[in-house]
Structure 1
Amino acid sequence: MTTRLRTDRLLLRGWREADLAPWAAMNADPEVRAYFPGVLTPEQSEASATCFQADLEGRGWGWWAVEVRDTGEFIGFAGLDPVDEGMPFTGVEAGWRLSRTAWGHGYATEAARAVLAHGFERLALPEILAVTAAGNLRSRAVMHRLGMTRDPAEDFDDPTVPAGPLRASVVYRLRAADHPRVLDRPPGPL
């Protein structure tokens, strides 16, 4: 069974067939993909959602679909994933991406807090990191709100991104010892 995470306003859950169209629309939006090398085709979006669901089923955590609890609206994803091979660091990365209609409501921070709590309190991770393009000030602001810190010595050029302004990347980290305990309920699926 795929673990689900709940916050006051959000549900982080497994992927559904109904998520594919809004996920594809999100990935076709140049503003949503402004800090990525390009937009995705519907086929690429579907393939990514299929991989995300397989990871959730296989290990119980990964990139969850995010929906607004009051409306059931799919608004994007948030989660944890091992850092890709070939990066100049290792560990588990937290991440999020939301549709433009979900921006400005605090959803990214709320979802990320749930993800961090799960990573530290359920998975016993010693540290979680987050990576973004240096110019992605929105995501960097979320990282700051989460209490993550950046060491400029870790800034790097992402080898998975073509040469250009999106290649310069930053790494933020949060150690378990610096994360406040937020989950008061016993371990187990929600």
Structure 2
Amino acid sequence: MTEIRTPRLVLRRWLDDDLVPLSEIHADPAVMQSIGDGRPRSLEQTAEDIEAWEEEWDEEGFGMFAVELLGSGEVVGAVGLSVADAPTEAAGQVMISWRLGRVFWGQGYASEAAQATLEFAVQDRHLDRVVAVCRTGDRASMNVLDKLGMQSEGTAQHPVHGYDVAMFGIDLTQYQE
């Protein structure tokens, strides 16, 4: 089982007990406003997400991690890698993404978990490039991307949902841990 420990977090594969806490995060409109179609997700949709993430782990050797607080074991969200399907400019590339419960915003957890994920991409999966896509105007995500050293690669339009996205990339062969 893949597990990463940071000073405050554990990044790990998904457990059955993670469904309810993640579904509570997915039910929050503020969390989901910049993800997918922007609508909250149901318990059933969250179960489908976890199942798809676990399948990606099995097929690709990477996926979305459950993120928990080191001390309490409380699930704070998800961070990880996936093969992008949209926008077209990013399709087929390995993408980093995250989502955290609103009560965990502004504490550096997203940056800490994303940093550990990039280290995993370099050290364990030997990837040489990772991209990220976020809605234009999503300052919090752009701040995390800046802390990761990811470079702006322009904008695109999401082909399904129609909103504008900012695209970022990082050459991991030059990555400084």
Cα distance in 1 between the residues matched to 2:58 and 2:66: 13
Q: Deviations over 1:113-133 (max 9, x none)?
A: 011011112211111111111
Q: Is the 8 A contact 2:61 2:125 kept in 1?
A: no
Gaps of 5+ in 1: 183-190
The reply to whether residue 39 of structure 1 matches residue 35 of structure 2 is no
Query: Offset at 1:83?
Result: 1.3
Percent of paired sites with the same residue: 30
Aligned residue pairs total: 174
Cα distance in 1 between the residues matched to 2:44 and 2:101: 18
Query: Offset at 1:57?
Result: 3.7
Q: Is the 8 A contact 1:56 1:64 kept in 2?
A: no
Cα distance in 1 between the residues matched to 2:103 and 2:88: 32
CA-based RMSD = 1.5
- Aligned equivalent of 2:74: 73
Q: Deviations over 1:35-66 (max 9, x none)?
A: 13211111101111112123224443200100
Could you state the TM-score of these two structures normalised by the residue count of structure 1?
Answer: 0.86
Q: 2:175 corresponds to which letter in structure 1?
A: H
Cα distance in 1 between the residues matched to 2:64 and 2:89: 22
Describe the SS at the equivalent of 1:151. strand
Describe the SS at the equivalent of 2:71. coil
Q: Which structure is higher in strand share?
A: 2
Q: Deviations over 1:16-51 (max 9, x none)?
A: 111111111111100001113211111101111112
Higher-Rg member (1/2): 1
Which of the numbers 105, 118, 121 marks the counterpart of 2:120? 118
Gaps of 5+ in 2: none
Larger RCO (CA within 8 A; separation ≥ 6): 1
- Aligned equivalent of 2:135: 133
Q: Is the 8 A contact 1:3 1:61 kept in 2?
A: no
Query: Offset at 1:137?
Result: 0.9
The reply to whether residue 173 of structure 1 matches residue 174 of structure 2 is no
Could you state the TM-score of these two structures normalised by the residue count of structure 2?
Answer: 0.92
Q: 2:7 corresponds to which letter in structure 1?
A: D
Q: 1:52 corresponds to which letter in structure 2?
A: W
Cα distance in 2 between the residues matched to 1:85 and 1:70: 36
Query: Offset at 1:85?
Result: 6.0
